[in-house]
Structure 1
Amino acid sequence: MKTNPLTTGSRGSVLWLTAALLICYAFLLVAGCSAPVQEGVKTNDTIKVRYTASFQDGMIFDTNVNSTPLEFTVGRGQVISGFDEAVIGMTPGTTKIVTIPPEKGYGLYNKSLVFRVNQAEVNEFLQDQESMGNLLGFQYPGIGSGYRWINSDGSTGYMRFSNATDTMVTVDLNNPLAGQDMVFEITLVEIVHPGT
């Protein structure tokens, strides 16, 4: 009668033990490989991002890399539409670089928003806005400076000046970033609240 070496004596015990350990190890490997996959950003998620915004030529005009991350809810119109679209699918810790065209940024440049007006009228308007605490100055590298304010409907108004004389000035009411292709480097810091 032949004996089975796997079941006979101490050598058989060692082989059975080794086989059992290998099977357990294989199960552990398979279980460890099925770690949960982290979902990417979806519409209605509240997220925090760091970003650097530049023009096509590389000139940076805005960044929050060394300050507080920007927190917003995706798809709610709290940021430009191209930025909203860019973060979809990102997972925490990832970085992406996107070019956002004017149509998904601050719109096309509108020449009908450029006027030649009386300097006194502009001064009166600016004084009214300032007296309401509603006037802020801005400065964009490569674009220049001007003023912005919040309109009664919640929208933001902009005003830049050029060709000033003693009595007249050219006023540009376009957003200073209108007509610009913008490059954003975006890093997703965290998904604060997943959307529903």
Structure 2
Amino acid sequence: MTQPKNNDTVVVAFTGKLDNGEIFYVVEKDNPMSVALGSGDLPPTVESAILEMKVGDTKKIRVPPDEGYGPRQKDLLQVIESEEMVASIKPLPGMVLSLQVEKDGQPQKVPATVIQVDGPKVTVDYNHPLAGHHLTYELVLLDIIKAAVH
């Protein structure tokens, strides 16, 4: 059997896990994902591993934070006053809120995780929940669709 090459489309199923074993994403074999190699849609570590696989192979691939969702950024932690929130919301640690921020002069809603509630002060984290984590993908290569030769 052949291995995929750059520009081929691969069909994969995988389970994404954190170091503590928590599953954060699953793509089942009966509803697989297709992705073109070399498109930049995959972390380089994952793409390199797939290039060494054959159809039917399974591989465990560990992706560092800088190839995943980036490092955690302390400047994305913010303390806000609870009265700035909708009155019907009582913030609790772990809760994900949709908060309005300004980006490029335009208001946008972005998710923020409540880290701490100290009276009227609420500490929120705008980092992606997977930022700063090593990600492990248990991946199976289901098919290779060869790139058209021009």
Gaps of 5+ in 2: 87-93, 105-109
* Higher strand fraction (1 or 2): 2
Residue 167 (structure 1) shift: 4.0
Which secondary structure does the structure 1 equivalent of 2:117 belong to? coil
Q: CA RMSD in A?
A: 2.9
Residue 166 (structure 1) shift: 6.4
Identify which of 78, 82, 85 aligns with 2:48: 85
Does residue 26 of structure 2 align to residue 76 of structure 1? no
**In the alignment, is the contact (CA less than 8 A) between 1:46 and 1:195 conserved in 2?**
no
Match of 2:91 in 1: none
Matches within 5 A, 1:120-139: 120-121=83-84, 123=86
Cα deviation, 1:109-149, whole Å, max 9, x if unaligned, reads: 111111112335455xxxxxxxxxxxxxxxxxxxx55367x
Residue 193 (structure 1) shift: 4.0
Gaps of 5+ in 1: 1-37, 124-143
Match of 1:109 in 2: 72
- For normalisation by structure 2, the TM-score amounts to 0.72
Residue 174 (structure 1) shift: 0.9
Rounded to whole Å, the distance in 2 between the matches of 1:146 and 1:46 is 35
How many residues are paired up?
A: 135
Which secondary structure does the structure 2 equivalent of 1:85 belong to? helix
Identify which of 97, 100, 116 aligns with 2:60: 97
What letter is aligned with 1:46? Answer: T
Residue 168 (structure 1) shift: 3.2
**In the alignment, is the contact (CA less than 8 A) between 2:4 and 2:146 conserved in 1?**
no
Moved >6 Å (runs of 4+): none
Match of 1:179 in 2: 132
Cα deviation, 1:68-107, whole Å, max 9, x if unaligned, reads: 1111112223233332333122221111111111122111
Q: Mark the structure with the bigger radius of gyration.
A: 1
- For normalisation by structure 1, the TM-score amounts to 0.57
